[in-house]
Structure 1
C-alpha cells in the first residue's frame, strides 16, 4: 500500500479516535446548547407558519420541505463553517455580525406592524391578486429562508458559546447535531400545525361522536391558532432582534440599555411571587421588543425613504 495512503488512513484514525473520545462532551454540549437556544427555537416555530398560511393544502408540506432544506443549508453549509472559522481566527467579529442580524429581524417585525397599522405594503401579499403563483411561492420560500438564516445564526452562536472550550472536532460535531435536531424539531412541529386543519376535516368525517367533535373543534380552532402564531411570530422578530442588540451592546462595552431591561425583568420577577420566573422573562422580552420596534421602525423608515428616492432618481 502506498505510504501516502497509509499516512492518510493514520490521520483519519486519529481523528476518529479523537471524535469517539469526545462523544460524552459532544452529548453534554448538544443538550446544554439546545436548552439555551430554546427561546429562539420557539420564535422560529412561531414565525414560519405565516409563510405557508393561505396556500392550498397540497402546497403546504412541499413549501415546508423547501424551507427545511434551506434551513439545513443555512446551518450546515454556511453558518457552521463560518462559526468554526470565526471562533478560531476572529471571535470578536461574532457579536457585531449577530447584531446586524438582530437589526434585520427587528426591521422585518417593525415593517409588518407598520403595514398592519395601515402603512404602505411592500411586495405581494396573500390579500392581493397573485399573478404568478409559482413566483409568489418561491418568493415566500426565499423570505422564510432569509429569516431562518438570522434565527439559525443566533441558534448556532448560542450553541457555540456552550461548547467553546471543547476541541475543534467536538465543537464541529456538536454544532452540526444541534443544527439538524433543531431544524427537524422546528419544521416537524410547523408541519403538524399547518396540517392540523386537514386532520380535523378527516376526523369530522369519521363515524363516532368523539372523533367528529374533535374534528370540528380543530377546524374551528386552527384559523385562530394560525392567526395567533402570526402575531407571535411578528412580536418574536422584535423581541429576538431587540434581545440580540441589547446583548451585543453589553458585550461591546455599552451595558446601560441591557441593564435597564434586566431591572425590568427583576422588578416584575419579584412582584409576581411564585410566577416570578415567567413574569421576569416576559418583562425582559417586552423590553427587548420595545428596543426592536424602535430600532426596526427607524430602519424601515430609512429603507423606504431611500427606496423612494432611488425610484424617483430613475
Structure 2
C-alpha cells in the first residue's frame, strides 16, 4: 500500500502537465491545429486521462487497505446525484447508437446522509463497466427504498453477461475473466474490487445476478444514513467476516471512456478551463493532485483530501 501510494503521487505531476498542455493545444493558444493534429491531441489527452483514472483507483485502493480513506457524510438528494451522473455519463454512449443509457428519475423525496462522492464513484464504476460490456442493448440505472432503512441502487445491462463460476472472481483485484467474449475488452480489474470495498466502507455491499449472453444486474445496498459519523472521519473497510447490517440477507456474489473534451484538467470556478488557467496549472504542477476525468467539480472537491 505504501509503495502504491508513493508511486501514484509521483505519477500525478507529469500526468497533470500532459493534460494541461493538451488543453492548451485544444484551446488554440498557440495557433490553429489541422483536423489531423486535433485528432491526435485528443488521443493523447484521452490516454493521459485513462492513466490518471488508473492512478486514482490505485491510490484509493491503497488508502482503503491502509485504513486511511476519508469518509465525509452529508445529506443529499438521490435525484441530484442521478442528475449529475446523467450529465457525466450519457456522453459515453453518444457515439454508439446501438447502446442506450437510461438513468431513471428517482423519488424526489429520496434523501441519503452518507458520503455522496463515494456513492457516485461506486455507481460510475458500475455504469462504466456496463457500457464497456454492452456493445448493443440497454443500460438501466435505478434507485429504490430497501428494507431496514436502506437504498438499493441497480445497474442492469443487456451485455455479454458473466458465467456463474466467475461471479465472485470479478471482485478480486487485478483479475480479468479469460473468456472469448471478454478478452476484447481491456481493463485493470480494479473498478469492481474498489467498488465493493467502498460499499463496505459505507456500511453496505454489492451483489450481482448475471447470465451469459443475456446481461447482468449489479445492486448496491447502502444504509440511507451512515450512523455514528457526525464529522469527517477516516475509516477502514470492515472485514468480510463482519457482515454489514445493510447487507443482511444478501448472498456474496458466487472500467470509462470519456469524450475528448473531458480530459480531467483542473476546472475554473465556472467548471471550464481557460487557456490562461491551463498555463498557470502547468507552471504549478508540483504537488498537484490530478482530478478524475469527467467528474463534476463538486465530486472532485469532495474526493480531494
TM-score (norm 2): 0.24
In our comparison, the structure showing a higher alpha carbon Rg is: 1
TM-score (norm 1): 0.24
More strand by share: 2
Higher relative contact order (CA 8 A, sep 6+): 1
